[in-house]
A and B are shown apart, each in its own frame.
Chain A
């Protein structure tokens, strides 16, 4: 499959990273197409990373108009006074990203992520859904799974100084270096819907608390009819009540999810820029791994909390 050679220009530009992942991986990257939706701080970091890495194309989906809130943690939007009036976040970010690497085709797609039809997703090798509702994540994931070709699916969220990444690579084969020989490995992933439906009793106690906390808030926003991330401190009593119900329903102790963690997540819905850089960096690395087929991809959740500084992988799959 790696017929074509890299051009002299590509070799010069990508010199340092080719030394990390090789020319074959670089060629595969340059032929890949990535869809990204929800361009807030963490996703902006992610976009920068894959544009620099030299993917073939990046398609941006974010119909929000540019507001002061959109500027937070997003270095792709310059505070340009009136210049942004009437422009969407995707359009502004598209212009900035193009500058980072002229060899990558960056464009904007219109439409609502949750209602785009299945053919739309067929154009991509990777789909990244940022800051979406539980229903949207499920719907897009299902569409990707119905396609005959494998589309790598990711979700990413960042609240306060905490973040979550979900990965679904379906059936995935990759090369792993073991001493001097390369072995072929295979992983089987579960869908987002299956992963979040695993009964809590079956999940090991040592699992990151953030996994459970994110499920509580996700469900709270869904039942209250909120937009993703639309919570404040005044919602804490409602969130705690829901937590209690969920813990009882799952027959696990309420202490399983610390109230202080939920409080942090609902009271501060702005992203902490260092956390964006870290989570966007990990997500970038994972997408590069999945496209290039080099290295072991994470399965299937990743958590970062700046409070303890740990970046943890959790495997929560259907039993």
Chain B
């Protein structure tokens, strides 16, 4: 393997790594050991305790520091003479533009989210730099090679959209624990501790809402001198008691459903709880930091233990008390964070009380935290294996060994004796809107949709653009950037509020739009088709974008949408959901001779090597549980 040619290709290469996390640490180590001498690494994250079980370049003393920088320093200790440059920054920052990408011979991704992956894919295409992409979840992993014009780009196949739930499932008819978590996190927690001006559907299902909405609103306001425990009980009784009772009044809803049980605090909690907020015992020590937690004073230690209704109710009141007693300043600005112990305790307790009410099995804090935080299951070994495979592909790319490129799956259970299964990469999808110039088709009601709807729901959410620009013919309708003057900004803002058909250059049936992202150097055409009606259930966004792939599979279970207004977003485990999306048959892409060889080497009885997406397999399993 150690040929002269290979060594000089490695030595002379300038490599960009995006991500210094689980895969990144392993990758940086393996690159350095393999003889790479010029490595640049970007990561915006800082080190956390839960990283230390696999991100082996980091120590407890590094918690809070830049991952990119600490990883660099750690690798230089065993390979002192190589050049590693670290950037503690977001890869989407404008400084990392096409020219920045052009200086590299290959880009290696060890990312954990779809958004950044798409962004890097576009920059690599624009800069014409090969990309090696990767992802892991538990024992499963995947490495793919994306070379412009030779293999498919990262976006040639649709990626599963983040999972979302219909709003009424969350607000009034939960059937699974995850629905209770979403309710507790995105509605209740946000209502109590987040931005008061945000729209919130917490009360949406009370039927006399119109008449008493003022009064309802007041429930969540705490008077300056109101006793915190009394306030907590009032919230408790409102959300778990009277709200449920109101909902029960609507008989229609419960015809074919199990009726929930209203729960009031006096049924589960003693008249008065002992006062204990403000005492030192509310602090537990994790990783050397003092953490505000409701658990110690309640005698709860094990996060994997299942709490009953009373314990959950106590945690609910105690956590709420602690927020007001110890973290008052943050109230009004908090968003849920999986690493915020008190927030996790509150959300776990609230979700469990709601689950009890709806007859859904309760979960431990450990499990609830995983669901609420979309925590990726991760082990060191898979990351190490995937990093090794990335370097092998990177070397092939540097040697321009195009016919040896492989996409490799790391499997948990052997398939045809293989734990590591290489397949030939796919060709570019000729109708990919990212790497080909195929126009998209947008069906929309041009008289009832505003330009803002188009920007939010299509350009940003669907096309993943960062700094978009929208043109209709020669007329510039909208643009984002730092270099715009006030008049232009005012103009664009005015346009956002206009209906499409009423814009200075009206967008109507048959109009053709050009949408560009200057940073990503991505430009695509959208042909507009006017349509009057949309199915509220199936097309809640009021518009349908199609053209670059097969229509999304209709999945009976989740009649989901990705509309922010009509559904609550749950971003699925980052890397997990992005691991290959479909079943593919090897034979489809194998050249004739290769196919024969496969048959000879393997058995003769079947021509196909069927590759099941590891993620699909694991999802199926989850559903069964």
Interface of A toward B, CB cutoff 8 Å:
5, 8-9, 11-21, 23, 41, 45, 48-49, 52-54, 73, 75-79, 99-102, 160-161, 177, 179-180, 206, 264, 268, 270, 272-278, 280-282, 284-285, 288, 295-296, 298, 302, 304, 306-314
Contacts and interface: CB of A to CB of B under 8 A. Distances in A.
Interface in B34-67: 34, 49-50, 52-54, 56, 59-60
B20 interface: no
B333 interface: no
Nearest to A77: B78
A263 to B, nearest CB: 12
B290 interface: no
Query: Which 9 A/B pairs are nearest by Cβ-Cβ distance?
Result: A311-B420, A277-B388, A309-B422, A273-B33, A281-B385, A278-B388, A274-B388, A281-B384, A161-B1
Contacts of B366: 11, 15, 18
A270 B26 CA distance: 20
A160 B422 contact: no
Interface residues of B, number: 65
Contacts of A102: 60
B30 A309 contact: no
Contacts of A180: 624-625
Given A15-B50, A278-B420, A288 B601 contact: no
Given A17-B53, A282-B385, A309-B422, 10 more contacts: A12-B287, A19-B377, A41-B33, A48-B56, A52-B53, A180-B624, A264-B1, A295-B412, A313-B414, A313-B419
Contacts of A274: 30, 34, 387-389, 391-392, 395
B360 interface: no
5 contacts: A8-B286, A15-B375, A75-B32, A76-B78, A180-B624
A281 B78 contact: no
A288 B54 CA distance: 14
A234 B99 CA distance: 49
Contacts of B32: 75
A280 B380 CA distance: 11
Interface of B: 1-2, 26, 29-30, 32-34, 49-50, 52-54, 56, 59-60, 77-78, 80, 138-139, 284-287, 301-304, 366, 370, 375-382, 384-385, 387-389, 391-392, 395, 406, 408, 410, 412-414, 417-422, 601-603, 621, 624-625
A161 B1 CA distance: 6
Contacts of B417: 312-314
Contacts of A79: 78, 80
Contacts of B1: 160-161, 264, 268, 272, 275, 306-307
A298 B34 CA distance: 28
Contacts of A45: 384
Given A20-B379, A281-B385, A273 B406 contact: no
B418 A54 contact: no
Contacts of B52: 13, 101
A52 B2 contact: no
A276 B388 contact: yes
Contacts of A11: 303-304, 366
A273 B366 CA distance: 37
Contacts of A54: 53
B377 A16 contact: yes
B419 A311 contact: yes
A281 B53 contact: no
Contacts of B301: 8
Contact of B33 (A53, A75, A101): A75
A302 B304 contact: no
A313 B418 contact: yes
A160 B1 CA distance: 6
